[in-house]
Amino acid sequence: MSTNVELREKVRERYAASAVSTNGCCGAGNCGPDPTLVTDLTAGTYAASDLAILPEKAVEASLGCGNPTAVAELSTGERVLDLGSGGGIDVLLSARRVGPTGFVYGLDMTEEMLDLARRNAAASGTTNVEFLKGFIEEIPLADDKLDVVISNCVINLSVDKPAVFAEIHRVLRPGGRIGISDIVAHDSLTPTERAERGDWVGCIAGALSYEEYRIGLETAGFEQVTLIPTHPVADGMDSVIIRAIKAS
């Protein structure tokens, strides 16, 4: 059994390689022990009009399972954090939605991804963004700072999900919200059965069940938690839209 430190390092190594090759595991990659078990996790979730305005390298490096910028329904002037920002696709799209009076942070633990994201921001001429190095379990931002937290197929990779939920709650202002795309397992699947469908770094083995996700967010202090499946990614596992609000 891998330790948490070993699992985190495996994730970091996989996504560092993805930043260079843009042929990663989540997203268009097939990461299960049997390639027939996992499909393209993105399922065409970005509009062609969105992709057309982005640098090609940002689009190629998209390794998510949904489109959290649409899920979060961002508004002008809002302050946003993208957990596990990768090559920056969701940060750049969010920056356009919040406009020059808004601001978007991207957080990633992988230096190679951060370098790629900063190059993509420069190439697109986007200035209302900042990319931070750190762990999603230890967000390097002040309390009550943000209006929205988004994430795209990243929380399932964490080795300490209660810490992630607590940190998201801490950095959101009262009334702030989350708009997350993630892989979620049917409640009937055991952890062992999830692992049979794919590995941890492939966004499968570490996925929470619907009930576990809901309880985790509610325990952290979130209200109005909803989980809506968008498309299947493996037998008994879905890409899911997760929304919740921090009480005012």
Give the Å distances, CA to CA, from 26 to 3, 150, 169: 21, 17, 26
Q: What is the pLDDT of residue 25?
A: 45
pLDDT above 60: residue 63: no
pLDDT of residue 89: 87
Distance, CA of 35 to CA of 30 (rounded, Å):
6
What is the secondary structure of 87-107 as a DSSP string?
TSHHHHHHHHHH-TT-EEEEE
Strand partners, 151: 83, 180
pLDDT in tens, 178-235: 999 999 999 999 988 888 876 555 567 789 999 999 999 999 999 999 999 988 888 8
Residue with the larger pLDDT of the pair 47 and 137? 137
Pair 113, 87: CB distance under 8 Å: yes
Residue-level pLDDT at 44: 46
* Average pLDDT of the residues of the chain: 82
- CATH at 182: 3.40.50.150
Report the half-sphere exposure of 154 (CA within 13 A, side-chain side): 28
pTM, full prediction = 0.82
Residue 44 makes CB contacts below 8 A (sequence gap 6+) with: none
Distances (CA, A) of 41 to 72, 167, 230: 19, 26, 10
**Which residues form the domain of 87?**
4-246
∠ CA(157), CA(159), CA(162), 5° rounding?
A: 105
User: Distance between CA atoms of 222 and 247, rounded to whole angstroms?
Assistant: 7
Q: How confident is the model at residue 31 (pLDDT cuts 50, 70, 90)?
A: very low
Number of domains in the chain: 1
Residue 76 neighbours by CB distance under 10 Å? 10
162-179 tens-digit pLDDT? 999 999 999 999 999 999
The answer on pLDDT for 245 being more than 80 is yes
Which pLDDT belongs to residue 2?
Answer: 59
